Amino acid sequence: MTPDAVPQNYLPIVIILFAAAAFAIVSLLAGMLVRPSRPYQAKLAPYESGAPIFSDARSRIPMRYYVIAMLFVIFDIETVFLYPWAVVFKELGLFGLIEMLVFLAILIVGYFYAWKKGALEWD
């Protein structure tokens, strides 16, 4: 590959990036021009999930919330590893099956450990 041919390979990527940026800018400008702008006090008030705010946003959150959120992220990310394994399942053979069973056993042990420690209780 010659050095002068390399920039030509990136030309489609640059065109797509410019097209995406132009689409975003045109969409935002069209929205600003078309939509009505009639702000009033209730519309400008902050809200959370459609409900009015009932306390200060800087209040302390219980540690249990973070533990449950971390457990969700950990188990969610680990189960994503099942998809590539399922794609190449036939190519891996018996070794791949045993390896995934060990992986799932570790996940199940971790789940039961968290359950036994009460990390999944929402009190």
pLDDT over threshold 60, residue 1: no
Q: Domain with 103 in it: what CATH number?
A: 1.20.58.1610
State the total domains in the chain: 1
Look at residue 71 and tell me if it is in a domain.
yes
Q: What is the pLDDT of residues 13-70, one digit of tens each?
A: 999 999 999 999 999 999 999 988 888 887 777 766 666 666 676 777 777 778 888 8
36 domain residue, yes or no: yes
| Model pLDDT for residues 12-24, shown as the tens digit of each residue | 899 999 999 999 9
**What is the domain range of residue 82?**
6-116
Q: Which stretches of the chain are DSSP H helices?
A: 6-9, 11-34, 41-44, 63-80, 82-87, 89-116
On whether residue 90 sits in a domain, the answer given is: yes
pLDDT attached to residue 17: 96
pTM for the structure as a whole:
0.46
